[in-house]
Amino acid sequence: MGTLFDAAHAHDAACIMRTYARKPVMFVRGDGMRLYDDDGAEYLDFVSGIGAVNLGHAHPAVTAAVAEQAAKLVHVSNLYYVEHRAELACDLVRLLGGGMRVFFANSGAEANEGAIKLARKWASTAKPGAYKVVSTLRSFHGRTLATLAANGQPGKSQAFEPLPQGFVHVPLNDIEALESALDETVAAFLVEIVQGEGGVWPARDEYLRAAEALCREHGVLLMIDEVQTGFFRTGPAFAHQAHGLTPDVVTLAKSMANGLPMGALVAREEVAAAFEPGDHGSTFGGGPVVCAAGRATVAALQAENLGARATLAGEYLRKALLELAQRTGAISDVRGVGLMVGCSLASPVAVQVAASLLGRKVVVNHIGADILRFLPPLVCGTAEIDTLLATLEDAFKEVAQ
């Protein structure tokens, strides 16, 4: 570890709130799926900023778009028109199939917070008396109070009670539980197509289709959280498209501007119409720098056909993990869609395995004690996956000793 790390570590310990148990490494540069620490050592990145850098680090088109816009104008607020905002909104609506409107936020939590507000406002005239949001156990939608209440992870919210009212949780992939939850008080069903932070748990196709039909039947908005699954991570532009769904609301963030902070709430015209001037707002949302980055990101993801690459690389990775599972017995389950891949370990050593991998210059994320998650940039190829697998096998051996 270099002197840059030592200084950052000391200042961090002195002045930063202790909300993260940071790993002992400082990254100073990136290129594609490679990261470089302050000593110049090279790492393979299977985290991509928690799924936020789908194009890979330092993509030249995004860098150029940011530099050009930053040199012209950084911020004036949503009170005025700026370059790139409306164009990016139209790009997103086109990718989502048309007939929708966009509100720009700065993060996934803000996008979901906006979606919850929109559902309540929509219901106030479309379904009077309805205000509840049904979401799934193990889901993750953010860290604001309303999104904490929506999360199906009580451990993350108990310390912050009382939480906003009006949230109901049902198990994922249990259509009967959803059916019994959808009554006249429910405004929306909020769901991830693949639960990310909960441990990479995909929703089943028949569940999603039945959930959509139930939402229509009960006059409930289908709100899909694509914060982690979006922008070609699972193959199609948005994960729900593989299931032929027509959501009323879609929330986006993470890789929308390839790592710059940005979120969006996108809703069908009739639903979006519930928001009137003054109902919602953001100082920074939809600023020209992040929107320029967003346009460059969307264009490059499509031009480089990264959805198709994510599908192929994801299949290769899952197959390789299954083979490793058979050979070592260290992995008990492999799952995921596209390049959103998780595996459960046979024993609760995920923290140690991730630490061993980091020592071997491979960056991997663990969820809890027994799940490893792989979210590489979508430029990840088979050679990088082969390196990951060989390193993982070494890490399993080290941790077993």
Ligand X SMILES: Cc1ncc(COP(=O)(O)O)c(C=O)c1O
Residues in the site for ligand X, rule: CB under 6 A?
A: 50, 107-109, 112, 140-142, 192, 196-197, 225, 227-228, 253
Q: How far is the CB of 186 from ligand X (least distance, A)?
A: 20
Angle, helices 350-359 vs 382-400, to 10°: value is 120
Going edge to edge, which strands form the sheet with 340-345?
A: 331-337, 340-345, 371-374, 365-367
Catalytic entry in 103, 104, 254, 370: 254
The identity of residue 31, as a single letter, is D
CA-wise closest residue to 247 among 285, 228, 281, 220: 220
Q: What is the CA radius of gyration of the chain?
A: 21
What distance in Å separates the CA atoms of residue 145 and residue 161, rounded to the nearest whole number?
Answer: 9
CA atoms within 13 A on the CB side of 111: 29
Write down the least CB distance from residue 393 to ligand X, Å.
29
Angle at 62 between CA 60 and CA 68, to 5 degrees: 100
In angstroms, what is the minimal distance from the CB of 157 to ligand X? 14
Q: Which is nearer to ligand X, 95 or 227 (CB)?
A: 227
Q: How far is the CB of 347 from ligand X (least distance, A)?
A: 26
Residue closer to ligand X (CB basis): 197 or 248 = 197
Own/partner long-range contacts of 171-175 (Cβ < 8 Å, ≥24 apart)? 171/136, 171/137, 172/136, 172/137, 172/138, 172/139, 172/201, 172/203, 172/207, 173/203, 173/204, 173/207, 174/207, 175/206, 175/207, 175/210, 175/211, 175/214
Residue with the CB atom nearest ligand X in the bound state: 108
Establish whether 140 is a catalytic residue.
yes
In angstroms, give the least distance from the CB of 223 to ligand X. 11
The smaller minimum CB distance to ligand X, of residues 171 and 359, is found at 171
SS3 210: helix
Q: Which of 45, 91, 225, 370 is catalytic?
A: 225
Residue 150, token pair as written in the block: 């929506």
CB nearer ligand X, residue 256 or residue 395? 256
Distance CA 261, CA 242 (A): 27
Q: What is the nearest approach in angstroms of ligand X to the Cβ of residue 10?
A: 27
* Catalytic hit among 103, 140, 231, 396: 140
User: Of the two residues 26 and 375, which places its CB atom closer to ligand X in the complex?
Assistant: 375
> How far, CA to CA in Å, does 364 sit from each of 73, 361, 374?
37, 10, 6
The residue type of 296 is A
Q: 282: Cβ–Cβ under 8 A, 6 or more apart, which residues?
A: 78, 104, 105, 106, 110
Q: Is 225 a catalytic residue?
A: yes
Of 69 and 135, which CB lies nearer to ligand X in the complex structure? 135
**Closest separation in Å from C-beta 49 to ligand X:** 10
Cβ neighbours of residue 359 closer than 8 Å, sequence gap 6 or more: none
Query: Looking at beta carbons only, is 249 or 395 nearer to ligand X?
Result: 249
Give the Cα separation of 40 and 35 in Å (integer). 9
List residues with catalytic annotation.
140, 225, 254
